[in-house]
Amino acid sequence: MNPRLDLLQPYPFARLRELLAGLEAPAGVKPVPLYIGEPRHPAPELVREALAANFGGLSSYPATQGSADLRGAIARWLERRYDLPAIDVEREVLPVNGSREALFSFAQAIIDPRKPAPLIASPNPFYQIYEGAALLAGARPVFLAQTPANGFSLDLASLSDEQWARVELFYVCSPANPTGRVLTLDEWRALFELADRHDFVIASDECYSEIYFDEARPPLGALEAAHKLGRPGWKNLVVFSSLSKRSNVPGMRSGFVAGDAELLSRFLLYRTYHGCAMSPMIQAASIAAWRDEVHVRENRKLYRDKFAAVLPILEPWLGIAMPDAGFYFWAATPVDDLAFTRELLAATGVTVLPGQFLSREVGGSNPGQGFVRIALVAELAECVDAARRIAGFVEHRYGARA
């Protein structure tokens, strides 16, 4: 067996099951799971119709590169969404089976095993796929803490010049999971300058880009930032996105990678052997989803309504603020986050995710410790009910806000 498998840590939800083993919601209380970022709004009808109309696609092998129609739908969406120049549908966009699969496999194609001690950088807290991808690619993960002290920004100065020289890939998540923070244009400028100086690739995970709260101010994307900064060709830059959150179809496993044509050419070669082509019927449904914005705006309104209802309930008792985007609250807890999570379930039936399960200790400090992630994915009434239970628990158990 590959000895690198032994380097992998248990996934956050496995750790949560172990933490909560033997605990149950109080008798007669309906459990409310707010720990997993799984969209639970209904899938749009246009996607269902496209799936039903394309069962014939099951009778043929799909191309790894996907159909020209799907690549075109994605390219046109990118151009409209980020006000970009024309995207080359043959060279600058590649459909994938969900952003998670591609984020992981991309590192396997990028890391050069001939180089000594390569590093893959990522935020901390982070999506655990970044760490697993680094370890199984033969690289070492290094983490940049995002804390209240630095406004949950990327602490680029925390790595030394010697470390930056060894970085081959930098995973960025904007809007961030779990904090919801969006990188600014100045932050992208600084990151691009580092990538130019040290010749590393930036992989921008943008799966939460379409969950935001002001229709007039969509989150800045990496390709958009590069274009605004006069960087043609997307050198050493790729973005990953998905229909899972945008269109409430996590079970479709449909997303894309776009950006640097040379990198995508090599990644396509890797994927040809990897055996991960998208089903033709999923491609047809994806085309319908990428071409429509009505259902996406309706989806955003559902999240806006939930945040507007839940924020005033929780704000007096937990250290929370509105995120820039996404569907999480990153909430400071009045006690250790592990103890808070256990006590909350036992007292209220509400399950949240401890922040330290999403982070790694660096220099004696874990930036997720003392936080929990609350996913507002349930229906409005259920989210409001859960928020009231959490607020009542904190008030009666601790008597003061975090």
Tell me the CATH number at 371. 3.90.1150.10
Quick: pLDDT tens for 76-113. Answer: 999 999 999 999 999 999 999 999 999 999 999 999 98
Q: Is residue 258 domain-shared with residue 389, that is, in the same domain? A: no
Distinct helix (H) and strand (E) counts, the chain? 14, 12
Query: Strands, DSSP E only, in 81-177?
Result: 93-96, 119-124, 140-145, 167-173
Task: Indicate the residue among 248, 269, 292 that finishes a domain.
Answer: 292
Identify whether the C-beta of residue 176 lies closer than 8 Å to the C-beta of residue 146: yes
Q: Is residue 266 domain-shared with residue 341, that is, in the same domain? A: no
- Mean pLDDT of the region 321-327: 97
Q: Is residue 31 domain-shared with residue 56, that is, in the same domain? A: no
Identify whether the C-beta of residue 169 lies closer than 8 Å to the C-beta of residue 120: yes
CA distance 341 to 315: 18
- Placement of tokens 């060279």 in the chain: 91
Q: Is residue 173 domain-shared with residue 277, that is, in the same domain? A: yes
Tokens matching residue 149: 């002290």
Identify whether the C-beta of residue 228 lies closer than 8 Å to the C-beta of residue 197: no
Q: Is residue 286 domain-shared with residue 299, that is, in the same domain? A: no
- Helix or strand run (H / E) with residue 353: strand 353-354
Q: What is the pLDDT of residue 228?
A: 98
Q: Is residue 132 domain-shared with residue 62, that is, in the same domain? A: yes
* pLDDT confidence bin for 399, thresholds 50/70/90: confident
Q: What is the pLDDT of residue 282?
A: 97
Q: Is residue 52 domain-shared with residue 123, that is, in the same domain? A: yes
Quick: pLDDT tens for 123-132. Answer: 999 999 999 9
Q: What's the distance, Cα to Cα, between the start and end of the chain in Å?
A: 46
Distances (CA, A) of 171 to 108, 141, 361: 13, 10, 18
Q: What is the pLDDT of residue 400?
A: 63
Q: Does residue 25 surpass a pLDDT of 70?
A: yes
Q: Is residue 380 domain-shared with residue 316, that is, in the same domain? A: yes
- Mean pLDDT of the region 181-206: 98
- Placement of tokens 């992208």 in the chain: 188
Query: Looking at this protein, which amino acid is placed at residue 239?
Result: V
Compute the mean pLDDT over every residue in the chain, rounded to the nearest whole number. Answer: 96
Length of the chain equals 402
CA distance 101 to 81: 24
Q: What is the pLDDT of residue 275?
A: 86
Q: What is the pLDDT of residue 349?
A: 98
Question: Quick one: which of 200, 69, 123 has its CA closest to 362?
Answer: 123
CA distance 240 to 234: 13
- Mean pLDDT of the region 331-345: 97
Q: Is residue 135 domain-shared with residue 214, that is, in the same domain? A: yes
Question: Quick one: which of 72, 378, 128, 340 has its CA closest to 248?
Answer: 378
- Placement of tokens 């507002």 in the chain: 376
What percent of the chain has a predicted confidence (pLDDT) above 90? 95
How far is C-alpha 109 from the geometric centre of its chain's CA atoms? 20
* Cα 251–Cα 257–Cα 260 angle in degrees, nearest 5: 175
Quick: pLDDT tens for 214-260. Answer: 999 999 999 999 999 999 999 999 999 999 999 999 999 999 999 99
Identify whether the C-beta of residue 170 lies closer than 8 Å to the C-beta of residue 139: no
Question: pTM for the full model?
Answer: 0.96
Domain membership of residue 382 as a residue range: 3-42+295-398
> Residue 233 belongs to a domain with what CATH number?
3.40.640.10
- Helix or strand run (H / E) with residue 297: helix 294-314
Number of structural domains (the chain) is 2
Task: Indicate the residue among 292, 320, 345 that finishes a domain.
Answer: 292
Question: Quick one: which of 284, 234, 261 has its CA closest to 66?
Answer: 284
Q: Is residue 124 domain-shared with residue 109, that is, in the same domain? A: yes
Q: Is residue 135 domain-shared with residue 165, that is, in the same domain? A: yes
Query: Looking at this protein, which amino acid is placed at residue 151?
Result: G
Task: Indicate the residue among 292, 312, 336 that finishes a domain.
Answer: 292
What percent of the chain has a predicted confidence (pLDDT) above 70? 99
Q: Is residue 14 domain-shared with residue 94, that is, in the same domain? A: no
